[in-house]
Homo-oligomer: A and B are copies of this chain.
Amino acid sequence: MEWHIIGIAASFLTTFGFVPQIVKMHRAKSAKDVSLVTLLQFGAGNILWALYGVYLKNLIIMTANIITFITIIVAIAFYYHYNREHGLLDNF
């Protein structure tokens, strides 16, 4: 079994894991019940995973987490944009 294929498939799924969440907020023009803390926690976690990937010299772990971090930034921007618009900012 080519184990790296498993790693690459895993990367794709979780790297782009927040893309449907971004699409859903954008379509609904709403971010009610989406957790900001979850987004912040993943953002911070992605940075540390990327560093750990450097230590492991594992390019998959590094790039996957950097890309996810970028999607998290977009998701946080949408969280603020849509919740501010609807007066729903609870910062949680």
Contacts and interface: CB of A to CB of B under 8 A. Distances in A.
Interface residues of A, number: 40
Interface string A2-42: 01001101111110111111011100101111110110011
Given A20-B35, A35-B21, A41-B20, A49 B14 contact: yes
Contacts of A30: 32-33
Q: What is the interface of chain A mostly: helix, strand, loop, or mixed?
A: helix
Given A6-B51, A49-B14, A34 B34 contact: yes
Given A7-B52, A55-B6, A14 B41 contact: yes
Interface of A: 3, 6-7, 9-14, 16-21, 23-25, 28, 30-35, 37-38, 41-42, 44-46, 48-49, 51-52, 55-56, 58, 92
